[in-house]
C-alpha cells in the first residue's frame, strides 16, 4: 500500500522538484581589467530560478534585444547599479522557451554581457487554433457560383433567364458569406476549416478556412456580387456568357480568400484572370483589345515569379506540404538571405495586383476599357487580392525578408499615395480619375502594412474593405453618367444636379465617402493607418497625409465640375433623368454599407485586429 | 500464356495495313478504309488499356519488363503508356481525316495504310530494346510520314514540305546511324543493356581504355539525329515549313505522335543508356533546352499562319521537356513524361481545330479565325483551353504537367546542381512570354466579327473530338492528376530501372 502512495507523491512533487536554482556571478577582476558575468552563457530549463549574485564593483543587470545591442528598451532590469547583494530573475522570463540577452549598463563599453538560454532557446511557435467545421460552408461558397454559371449557360437564347439566375445565385452566396462572416467570429485562429486531398504525393490539398483576415474579404465579395449583377441588369450583348463569367469570377475570388494552401491559392489567383480577360475583351470600350492583353500579360508574368517563390518555400521546408500554416510554423528555420529573396519574389507578384507604383500602369487601361460591372469587380475585390496575399502568404512566412523591405514598402506606398492623387487631379476622364484614386487609396493600405504594427495592419485591411465598398460606388457613378450622356469627360459635363437631384445627392455622398469623410468607412481606415505610421515613423507622416489634401481636391473639383455649375453646352442636358432602379439600388446599398461600417467600425475591426495580432505574433514582431 | 500475346496491338495494325489495300480491290466505298483503320486502332487501344489495368488476364506482371522476339522487344510500363498515347493520337487523326478529305480525294487507301504503318513504327520505337530496333521503328514511322506530308501531290506547298522533310529526315537518320555505328565499334554491342554495361564498366575501371571522346562524338551524332525528330534548336528549321505545308491531320500526327516518339527515343537513349556517359552531356542538353524555349517563343510571336505559329510553339515545348533530362532524377523524368503526354493532347487538340477550320474553307491565316466564337462556340472554347493549357495557366492540364516538370527539375537544382535553377527560371519566364501569341489567336476568335457572314457547318466528328479533348484538358486531368502522375511515375521507374 505504501509504495503506490509514494509513487503518486513522487509524480506530483516531481515538477516542483525539477525547478532548479542557478546563480550568476556579477563581478569584475580586482585590477579592473575585465568585467564579466559568470557563467557568460547559462542554459536552464523552463521554470528554473536564476539569481544574480554581486561580487566586486558596482553593476546592474538589464535585458537587451540582441547580442550586439547595448540599450535597455524593455524586459527585466535589476534597477540602478548597486554594490553587493543579489537579485533574482522574475519567474515569467524563464517560463517559456527563448534566449535572453542582458548587459551591465555601466560597463557596456567593456562588453560586460551575458546570455540565458531557456529550454531550446527558440521562441515557441505560437499555437494556431484550427477548428474544423461540421458543415461545409466554405465549399458551398465555391460551388454555388459555379453551378449558377453552368445553369446560366443552359439559357443562352433567353434574354431574361441569365440575369435572374445570376441574381438568385449571387443573393444566395451573399447569404452564405454573411453566415460565414458571423461563424468566423472574433476568435483567434482559423475556423470552419475543411480539407480535401487533391495530390497527396505533393502535399497539395484543398485546405479551406477563414480567420479575421479573410472573413471581411469574403463578406466584401459576397456584397459586391449581387450589386454587380443588378447594375449590369440591362446587359444586352451575350448576357448568358456575361453573367456566367461574373459567377466564375466570384468563385475564383472566394477561392483566393479562403484557401490556406499555397498551390491552390496560386490556382485560384490565376483563374481570376481568365474571366476578367474576357470581360474586358468582349464588353470593353474602344481600346479593349490592347487593355485586355496588357492586363493579362502584366499580371501573369508577375504571378509566375510568385509561383517560383512558393515552390522555393516548399522545398526549403522539406515538409512535403503546401499548407500555409505548416510552412509558416517553420519560419524560424529560414536564413535571412533566403527570406529576403523569397519576399522579393512574392512582393513582385503581389505589388502588381495592389497595384503599387511603378507597377500600376496596367490598371488605368484595364479600368477605363472594362465594362462597369468589370470595373466594379476589379476595383472592389480583385485589387484586394494583392494586399491580402501579402499579409496572408508573405508576412508570416518570411518575417525577416519583410522587415528588410519595410523602407522600400514605405517609400513605394508614399509615392503611390502622392503620385496617384496627383494623377487623379490631372484626369479629365471620370473613370480614369477613379482608377488613379484606387492607386492612391491602396497606397494608404500598403503604408499600413509597412508599419508592421497591429493598428497599421488592421487599418490596412479595413482600408481594403472600405475601398472595396466605395470604389465600386465611384465606378457606378461613372457608369450612370456614361449611360445617360454618352461621355465621361469631366470638362464636357456640368449642370446635371438640377436635372437629377436625387441621383446627384447619392453621387455627392459617394464622393464624400471616398475622400474620407468622418462617418464613412474610408475615414476609419485612413485614421488608423496614419496613427500607426506616426507611432512608427514620426513626422514622416506629413508626406502621406499631405496626399489627403490632394485627395479632397480631386474629389471635390471633379464633383463640382461634373455635377454642379451651369448647364453644359456640349451635352444634351435635357435628356438627363434620374438613375434607373437597377442603377440606384446598388449605389444606395453601397452608401448604406459604407455608412454602417463607418459608424460601427468595430464589427469588422474586431476580427481584423485579432487576426493581425496573430500574424504579427507569428512574425515574432510582438 | 505465351508472352508474345503482348505483341497483339502491333499485329492488329499489321493486319489492317495489309487489309486496306485489299479492300481497295474489292470495294469502291471510301468509308471502308477509314472504318478498317478505326477498328484496328480501337482494338489496339482497348487491348493496351485492358492489359494496363488488368495485367492478370494476360498473365503479365507489371513489375518486371517482358522481353519478346529474342529480347529485341521490351514491354514495360514506359512503353505501354506511350503506346496508348500513340494509338489514341492515331485514332483521333484517323477520325478527323475522313471529314478533312473531299468526297473524291484520290489515294485514300494509301493514306490510311501509311497512317497505320507510321503508328506501328512509333509503337516499335516505344518497345525497342536495342539500337537497331529503335532505328527501324523511327524509320518506319518517318518514311510513312514523308509520304503523308506530300500526300496532296497537286498542292505545291504540300509537295515542297514533303521534299524538305524527306531530305532532312534522311540526313538525320544518316547522322544517328553513324553515331550508333561508332558506339557499336567500341562497345561491340547493339543492345541498350550491353552499351550501358560497357559504360558502367569504363566508369568503374573494369574495362580499361579512354573512350570519352569517341562516346562523346557518338552521342553527339545520335543527339543530332533525334534532335531533328523532336525539333529542338538547332535542328528545328524544317518544322515550321512542314507543319504549315502538310495536310493538317498529318500535322496533328507529327506534332502529337511523331514528336512524342522522338522523346521516347531520347529518353531511352539518353536517360537509360548514356546516363553515366559524361557530365558535359547535361550541359549540352541544358543549352539546347534553353535555346529551344527562347527561339521557339520569340519566333512564334511574329507568325501569321496558325500552323506555323503552333510549329514554333512546339519547338518551345520541346525545350521545356528537355530541361528535365539533365536533371536525370526519377521525379524530373516523370514530369517530362507527363508533359510529353499532355503536350500530345493539347497540340493534337489545337491542330484538330486548325484542320477543321481549314477544311471548311476558312483558311489557315490568323484572319480566318476572326469571329470563330460566333460560328462555333465549342470549337473556339476547345481551342482556347488547348492554348491556355500550352501556356500553362491553371487549372488546365498543361499547367499541372508543367508544374510537375519544373517541380522535379527544381528539386534536383536545389539539391546541388544550381545551374538547373536557371533553366527552370528561364522556362517560367518563357511561359509568360508565350502568353502573348497564344492570346493573339484567342483575341481573333473572340474579339473580331467574322469576315464573311456565310453560314458554315462544322463536321460532327470534329465537334465530338474537340469536346472530348476539352473535357480531358479542363476537367479530367486537373481533377485526377494524382492518378496521371502515378502513371508517369510507374513509367519513369520502368525507364530508369
Q: Which of A307, A312, A321, A369 to mutate to test the interface with B (most CBs of B within 10 A)?
A: A307
pLDDT tens string A534-561: 998 889 999 999 999 999 999 999 998 8
Q: Looking at residue B194, what is its pLDDT? A: 87
A293 has a chain B CB within 8 A of its CB: yes
User: Model confidence over A442-486: pLDDT tens digits?
Assistant: 999 999 999 999 999 999 999 999 999 999 999 999 999 888 888
**CA-closest candidate to residue B124, choices B73, B65, B71:** B73
Same domain, A113 and A135: no
Domain membership of residue A452 (yes or no) is: yes
The shortest CB-CB distance from A201 to any of B393, B399, B482 is to B482
Residue A8: its H or E element: helix A2-18
The answer, yes or no, to whether the previous bond of B111 is cis (omega within 30 of 0) is no
Q: Which of A281, A304, A311 minimises the CB distance to B410?
A: A311
> Is B407 in the A-facing interface, judged by CB distances under 8 Å?
yes
Q: What is the DSSP string of B223-273?
A: HHHHHHHHT-TTS-THHHHHHHHS-HHHHHIIIIIIHHHHHHHHIIIIIII
CA atoms of B296 and B319, how far apart (whole Å): 8
- List chain A residues with CB under 8 Å of B446: 278, 281-282
Query: Which of A140-149, A535-544, B58-67 is least confident?
Result: B58-67
Q: How far apart are CA A419 and CA B465, in angstroms?
A: 53
Cell digits of residue A453: 504594427
Residues A66 and A179 in one domain: no
Q: Is the pLDDT of residue B277 over 70?
A: no
Share of chain B above pLDDT 70, in %: 97
Integer CA distances (angstroms), B36 to A262, A440, B16, B101, B201, in order? 50, 68, 7, 17, 50
Model pLDDT for residues B167-190, shown as the tens digit of each residue: 999 999 999 999 999 989 988 888
Cα A41 to its chain centre, rounded Å, is 41
Chain B residues whose beta carbon lies within 8 Å of the beta carbon of residue A297: 432, 435-436, 439
Q: What pLDDT shows up at residue B343? A: 93
Start-to-end C-alpha separation, chain A: 52
- Residue B1 reports pLDDT greater than 50: no
Segment B397-406 shows an average pLDDT of: 92
Tens digit of pLDDT for each residue in B200-230? 888 888 888 778 788 888 888 988 899 988 8
Q: Which of B410, B435, B446 sits opposite A300 (nearest CB)?
A: B435
> Residues near A36 by Cβ (< 8 Å), separated by ≥ 6?
A25, A27, A28, A29, A112
Confidence band, pLDDT 50/70/90 cuts, at residue B458: confident
- Measure in Å the smallest separation between the Cα of B356 and chain A Cα atoms: 24
Yes or no: say if B314 and B415 are a contact pair by the CB < 8 Å rule: no
Q: Which of A118, A152, A177 is the last residue of a domain?
A: A118
Please tell me the distance from the alpha carbon of residue B411 to that of residue B472, in angstroms, as a whole number: 28
Q: What CA–CA distance (Å, rounded) separates A172 from A169?
A: 5
B435 grid coordinates = 502568353
Q: Which three three-digit cell numbers place residue B173?
A: 537518320
Q: Taking each helix axis as running N to C, give the angle between helix B31-53 and helix B8-26, from 0 to 180 degrees, rounded to the nearest 10.
A: 170
Q: What is the Cα–Cα distance from A468 to A177, expressed in whole angstroms?
A: 15
Q: Which residue of B has its CA nearest to A278?
A: B446
For the cut 70, the answer to whether the pLDDT of residue B164 exceeds it is: yes
* Interchain contact, B410 vs A315, CB within 8 Å: yes
Question: Do B429 and A304 make contact, defined as CB atoms within 8 angstroms?
Answer: yes
Nearest C-alpha neighbor of B264 from the set B478, B491, B31, B446? B491
Q: Which domain holds residue A40?
A: 19-118
Q: Give yes or no: residues A95 and A206 share one domain.
A: no
CA atoms within 13 A on the CB side of B285: 28
On whether any CB of chain A is under 8 Å from the CB of B424, the answer is yes
CB atoms within 10 A of CB A43: 14
CATH of the domain at A98: 2.60.40.420
Single out the residue of A621, A613, A620 nearest to residue A189, CA to CA: A613
Largest Cα–Cα separation, chain B? 75
**Dist. CA B7–CA B317, nearest whole Å:** 32
Q: What does pLDDT average to over chain A?
A: 87
pLDDT digits (tens, 9 = 90+) for B336-356: 999 999 999 999 999 999 988
> How far, in Å, CA of B340 to CA of B401, rounded?
9
Quick check: is A525 in a domain?
yes
CB-closest option in A201, A270, A282 to B447 = A282
- The answer, yes or no, to whether the previous bond of A355 is cis (omega within 30 of 0) is yes
Task: Show the 3-state SS of A61-93.
Answer: CEEECCCCCCCCCCCCECCCCEECCEEECCHHH
CB–CB of A267 and B414 under 8 A?
no
- Name, in order, each residue with C-beta under 8 angstroms of A619's C-beta and a sequence gap of 6 or more: A331, A395, A396, A399, A402, A452
**Are the C-beta atoms of A433 and A554 separated by less than 8 Å?**
yes
DSSP B473: I
* Dist CA A459 CA B13 (whole Å): 70
- Closest partner residue to B395 (CB to CB) among A200, A267, A311 is A267
Q: What is the pLDDT of residue A14?
A: 52
Give residue for cell 525577416: A400
DSSP character at residue A358: T
pLDDT, one tens digit per residue, over B100-129 is: 887 777 788 889 999 999 999 999 999 998
What is the chain A residue with the closest CA to B443?
A289
What confidence tens digit (pLDDT) does each residue in B225-262 have?
A: 999 888 898 888 899 999 998 888 999 999 999 999 99
For residue A101, tell me if it sits in a domain. yes
H or E element, residue A43: strand A41-44
Residue A197: strand, helix, or coil: strand
- What is the reported pLDDT for A34? 80
Last residue of a domain, one of A118, A145, A162: A118
Whether A291 and A352 share a structural domain: yes
Q: What is the largest CA-CA distance in chain A?
A: 107
User: Considering only A119-133, A220-234, A265-279, A412-426, which range has the smallest mean pLDDT?
Assistant: A119-133
Residue A53 has what pLDDT? 85
Q: Cβ of A297 and B410 within 8 Å?
A: no
Task: Verify cis geometry, omega within 30 degrees of 0, for the bond prior to A39.
Answer: yes
Q: Are B310 and B355 in contact (CB under 8 A)?
A: no
The answer as to whether A12 is a domain residue is: no
- Name the grid cell of B96: 478527323
Q: What is the mean pLDDT of residues B88-93?
A: 93
Kindly state the cell numbers that stand for A92: 515569467
* Alpha-carbon gap, residue A185 to A188, rounded angstroms: 9
CA-to-CA distance for A246 and A166, rounded, in angstroms?
9
Edge-to-edge strand list for the sheet holding A190-199: A130-132, A190-199, A204-210
Task: List pLDDT tens digits, range B35-57.
Answer: 899 999 999 999 988 888 887 77
For residue A29, count other CB atoms closer than 10 A to its CB.
12
Give the pLDDT band (50/70/90) at residue A69. confident
Mean pLDDT lowest among A63-77, A299-313, A587-601, B417-431: A63-77
- Our count of domains for chain A comes to 3
Residue A3 lies in a domain: no
Q: Of the segments A78-92, B135-149, B367-381, which one has the largest average pLDDT value?
A: B135-149
Domain shared by A94 and A183, yes or no: no
* Interface contact flag, B394 A300, Cβ < 8 Å: no
Q: Which of B330, B394, B488 to mutate to probe the A interface, most A CBs <10 Å?
A: B394
Q: Average pLDDT of B410-433?
A: 87
Q: Torsion over CA of B8, B9, B13 and B19, rounded to 10 degrees?
A: 40
Rounded to the nearest angstrom, the minimum Cα separation between A440 and chain B is 28
Residues of chain A above pLDDT 90, percent: 48
Cα separation of A181 and A345, whole Å? 32
Q: Which residues pair with B176 in a beta bridge?
A: none
pLDDT, position A340: 93
- The DSSP symbol for A491 reads G
Would you say A205 and A195 are in contact if contact means Cβ atoms under 8 Å apart? Answer: yes
For residues B247 and B100, the answer to whether their CB atoms sit within 8 Å is yes
Q: Which among A67, A95, A118 is the end of a domain?
A: A118
- Mark whether A240 and A103 lie in a shared domain: no
Same-domain check for residues A57 and A202: no
Residue A199, chain B, CB below 8 Å: the answer is yes
Q: How far is CA A366 from CA A281, A290, A291, A294, A371, in A?
A: 10, 9, 5, 8, 10
CB pairs under 8 A between A and B: 64
Cβ-based neighbours of A271, under 8 Å, separated by 6 or more? A248, A252, A255, B394, B395
Interface contact A297, partner B, CB < 8 A: yes
Residues A197 and A324 both lie in one domain? yes
B436 near A CB under 8 A: yes
Separation CA A555–CA B223 (nearest Å): 66
Partnered with residue B128 across adjacent β-strands are B73
Judged by CB atoms closer than 8 Å, whether chains meet at B439 and A297 is answered as yes
Cell of A169: 445565385
What's the pLDDT band for B359 if we cut at 50, 70, 90?
Answer: confident
Listed residue (A371, A329, A380, A95) closest to A221, CA to CA: A380
Residue in the structure block whose three cell numbers are 522487344: B73
Residue A450 included in any domain: yes
Q: Give yes or no: residues A146 and A255 share one domain.
A: yes
Q: What angle do CA A367, A369, A374 make, to 5 degrees?
A: 60
CB-based contact B431 A304, cutoff 8 Å: yes
A425 and A311 in one domain?
A: no
Torsion B311-B312-B315-B321 (CA) sign = negative
Domain match, A203 and A226 both: yes
**Half-sphere exposure in the Cβ direction for A243 (13 Å, CA):** 36
Q: Are residues A314 and A453 in the same domain?
A: no
Residue B278 — pLDDT band, cuts 50, 70, 90? Answer: low
Amino acid at each position: 500500500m505504501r509504495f503506490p502512495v509514494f509513487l503518486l507523491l513522487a509524480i506530483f512533487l516531481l515538477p516542483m522538484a525539477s525547478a532548479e536554482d542557478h546563480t550568476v556571478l556579477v563581478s569584475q577582476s580586482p585590477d579592473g581589467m575585465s568585467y564579466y558575468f559568470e557563467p557568460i552563457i547559462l542554459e536552464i530549463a523552463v521554470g528554473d530560478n536564476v539569481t544574480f549574485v554581486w561580487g566586486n564593483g558596482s553593476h546592474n543587470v538589464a535585458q537587451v534585444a540582441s547580442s550586439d545591442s547595448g540599450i535597455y528598451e524593455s524586459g527585466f532590469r535589476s534597477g540602478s547599479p548597486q554594490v553587493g547583494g543579489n537579485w533574482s530573475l522574475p519567474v515569467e522570463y524563464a517560463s517559456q522557451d527563448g534566449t535572453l540577452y542582458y548587459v551591465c549598463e555601466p560597463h557596456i563599453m567593456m562588453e560586460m554581457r551575458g546570455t540565458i538560454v531557456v529550454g531550446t532557446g527558440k521562441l515557441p511557435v505560437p499555437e494556431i487554433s484550427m477548428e474544423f467545421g461540421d458543415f461545409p460552408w466554405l465549399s458551398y461558397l465555391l460551388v454555388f457560383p459555379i453551378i449558377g454559371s453552368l445553369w446560366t449557360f443552359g439559357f443562352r437564347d433567353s434574354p431574361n433567364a441569365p440575369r435572374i439566375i445570376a441574381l438568385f445565385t449571387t443573393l444566395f452566396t451573399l447569404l452564405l458569406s454573411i453566415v460565414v462572416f458571423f461563424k468566423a467570429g472574433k476568435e483567434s485562429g482559423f475556423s470552419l476549416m475543411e480539407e480535401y486531398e487533391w495530390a497527396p504525393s505533393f502535399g497539395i490539398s484543398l485546405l479551406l478556412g477563414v480567420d479575421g483576415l479573410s472573413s471581411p474579404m469574403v463578406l466584401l465579395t459576397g456584397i459586391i456580387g449581387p450589386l454587380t449583377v443588378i447594375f449590369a441588369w440591362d446587359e444586352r450583348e451575350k448576357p448568358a456568357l456575361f453573367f456566367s463569367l461574373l459567377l466564375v469570377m466570384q468563385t475564383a475570388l472566394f477561392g483566393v480568400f479562403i484557401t490556406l494552401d499555397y498551390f491552390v491559392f496560386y490556382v485560384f489567383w490565376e483563374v481570376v484572370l481568365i474571366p476578367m480577360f474576357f470581360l474586358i475583351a468582349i464588353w470593353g470600350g474602344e481600346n479593349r483589345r490592347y487593355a485586355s492583353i496588357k492586363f493579362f500579360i502584366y499580371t501573369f508574368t508577375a504571378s509566375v515569379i510568385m509561383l517560383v517563390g512558393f515552390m522555393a518555400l516548399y522545398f526549403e521546408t522539406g515538409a512535403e506540404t503546401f499548407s500555409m500554416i505548416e510552412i509558416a510554423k517553420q519560419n524560424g528555420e529560414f536564413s535571412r538571405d533566403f527570406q529576403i529573396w523569397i519576399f522579393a519574389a512574392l512582393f513582385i507578384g503581389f505589388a502588381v495586383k495592389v497595384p503599387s507604383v511603378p507597377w500600376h500602369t496596367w490598371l488605368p487601361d484595364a479600368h477605363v476599357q472594362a465594362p462597369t460591372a468589370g470595373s466594379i469587380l476589379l476595383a472592389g475585390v480583385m485589387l484586394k487580392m494583392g494586399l491580402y496575399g501579402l499579409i496572408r502568404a508573405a508576412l508570416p512566412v518570411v518575417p525577416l525578408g519583410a522587415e528588410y523591405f519595410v523602407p522600400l514598402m514605405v517609400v513605394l506606398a508614399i509615392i503611390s499615395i502622392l503620385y496617384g492623387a496627383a494623377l487623379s487631379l490631372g484626369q479629365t476622364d471620370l473613370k480614369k480619375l477613379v482608377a488613379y484614386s484606387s492607386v492612391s487609396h491602396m497606397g494608404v493600405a500598403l503604408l499600413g502594412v509597412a508599419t508592421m504594427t497591429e493598428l497599421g495592419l488592421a487599418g490596412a485591411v479595413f482600408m481594403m474593405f472600405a475601398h472595396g465598398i466605395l470604389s465600386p460606388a465611384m465606378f457606378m457613378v461613372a457608369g450612370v453618367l456614361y449611360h445617360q450622356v454618352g461621355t465621361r469627360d469631366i470638362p464636357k459635363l456640368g449642370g446635371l444636379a438640377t436635372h437629377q437631384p436625387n441621383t446627384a445627392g447619392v453621387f455627392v455622398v459617394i464622393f464624400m465617402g471616398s475622400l474620407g469623410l468622418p462617418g464613412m468607412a474610408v475615414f476609419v481606415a485612413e485614421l488608423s493607418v496614419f496613427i500607426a505610421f506616426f507611432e512608427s515613423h514620426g513626422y514622416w507622416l506629413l508626406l502621406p497625409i499631405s496626399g489627403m489634401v490632394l485627395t479632397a481636391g480631386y474629389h471635390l473639383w471633379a464633383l463640382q465640375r461634373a455635377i454642379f455649375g451651369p448647364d453644359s453646352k456640349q451635352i444634351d442636358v435635357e435628356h438627363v433623368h434620374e438613375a434607373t432602379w437597377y442603377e440606384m439600388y446598388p449605389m444606395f446599398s453601397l452608401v448604406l454599407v459604407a455608412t454602417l461600417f463607418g459608424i460601427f467600425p468595430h464589427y469588422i475591426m474586431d476580427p481584423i485586429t485579432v487576426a493581425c495580432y496573430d500574424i504579427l505574433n507569428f512574425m515574432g514582431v510582438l | 500464356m505465351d508472352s508474345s500475346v503482348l505483341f497483339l496491338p502491333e499485329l492488329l495494325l499489321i493486319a489492317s495495313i495489309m487489309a486496306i489495300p485489299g479492300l481497295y480491290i474489292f470495294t469502291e466505298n471510301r468509308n471502308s478504309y477509314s472504318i478498317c483503320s478505326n477498328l484496328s486502332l480501337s482494338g489496339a487501344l482497348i487491348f493496351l488499356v485492358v492489359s494496363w489495368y488488368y495485367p492478370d488476364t494476360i498473365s503479365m506482371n507489371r513489375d518486371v519488363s517482358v522481353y519478346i522476339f529474342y529480347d529485341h522487344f521490351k514491354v514495360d510500363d514506359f512503353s505501354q503508356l506511350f503506346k496508348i498515347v500513340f494509338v489514341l493520337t492515331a485514332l483521333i487523326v484517323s477520325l478527323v481525316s475522313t471529314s478533312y478529305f473531299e468526297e473524291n480525294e484520290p489515294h485514300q487507301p494509301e493514306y490510311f495504310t501509311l497512317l497505320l504503318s507510321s503508328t506501328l513504327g512509333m509503337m516499335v520505337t516505344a518497345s525497342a530494346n536495342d539500337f537497331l530496333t529503335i532505328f527501324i521503328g523511327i524509320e518506319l514511322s518517318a518514311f510513312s510520314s514523308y509520304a503523308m506530308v506530300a500526300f496532296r501531290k497537286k498542292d505545291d506547298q504540300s509537295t515542297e514540305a514533303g521534299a524538305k522533310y524527306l531530305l532532312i529526315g534522311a540526313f538525320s537518320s544518316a547522322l544517328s546511324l553513324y553515331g550508333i555505328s561508332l558506339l557499336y565499334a567500341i562497345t561491340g554491342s547493339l543492345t541498350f543493356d550491353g552499351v550501358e554495361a560497357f559504360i558502367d564498366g569504363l566508369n568503374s575501371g573494369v574495362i580499361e581504355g579512354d573512350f570519352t571522346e569517341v562516346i562523346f562524338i557518338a552521342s553527339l551524332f545520335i543527339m543530332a539525329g533525334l534532335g531533328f525528330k523532336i525539333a529542338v534548336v538547332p535542328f528545328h528549321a524544317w518544322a515550321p515549313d512542314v507543319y504549315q505545308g502538310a495536310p493538317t491531320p498529318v500535322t496533328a500526327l507529327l506534332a502529337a505522335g511523331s514528336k512524342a516518339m522522338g522523346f521516347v527515343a531520347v529518353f531511352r537513349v539518353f536517360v537509360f543508356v548514356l546516363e553515366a556517359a559524361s557530365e558535359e552531356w547535361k550541359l549540352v542538353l541544358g543549352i539546347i533546352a534553353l535555346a529551344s524555349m527562347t527561339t521557339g517563343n520569340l519566333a512564334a510571336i511574329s507568325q501569321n499562319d496558325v500552323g506555323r505559329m503552333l510549329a514554333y510553339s512546339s519547338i518551345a515545348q520541346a525545350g521545356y521537356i528537355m530541361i528535365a533530362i539533365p536533371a536525370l532524377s526519377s521525379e524530373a523524368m516523370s514530369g517530362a513524361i507527363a508533359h510529353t503526354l499532355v503536350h500530345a493532347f493539347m497540340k493534337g487538340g489545337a491542330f484538330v481545330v486548325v484542320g477543321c477550320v481549314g477544311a471548311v474553307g476558312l483558311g489557315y491565316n490568323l484572319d480566318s479565325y476572326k469571329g470563330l466564337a460566333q460560328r462555333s462556340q465549342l470549337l473556339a472554347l476547345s481551342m482556347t483551353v488547348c492554348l491556355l493549357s500550352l501556356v500553362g495557366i491553371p487549372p488546365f492540364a498543361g499547367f499541372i504537367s508543367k508544374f510537375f516538370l519544373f517541380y522535379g527539375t527544381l528539386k534536383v537544382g536545389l539539391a546541388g546542381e544550381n545551374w538547373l535553377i536557371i533553366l527552370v527560371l528561364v522556362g517560367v519566364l518563357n511561359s509568360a512570354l508565350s502568353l502573348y501569341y497564344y492570346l493573339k489567336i484567342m483575341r481573333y476568335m473572340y474579339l473580331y466579327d467574322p469576315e464573311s457572314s456565310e453560314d458554315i457547318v462544322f463536321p460532327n466528328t470534329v465537334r465530338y473530338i474537340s469536346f472530348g479533348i476539352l473535357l480531358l484538358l479542363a476537367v479530367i486531368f486537373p481533377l485526377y492528376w494524382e492518378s496521371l502522375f502515378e502513371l508517369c511515375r510507374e513509367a519513369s521507374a520502368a525507364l530508369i530501372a
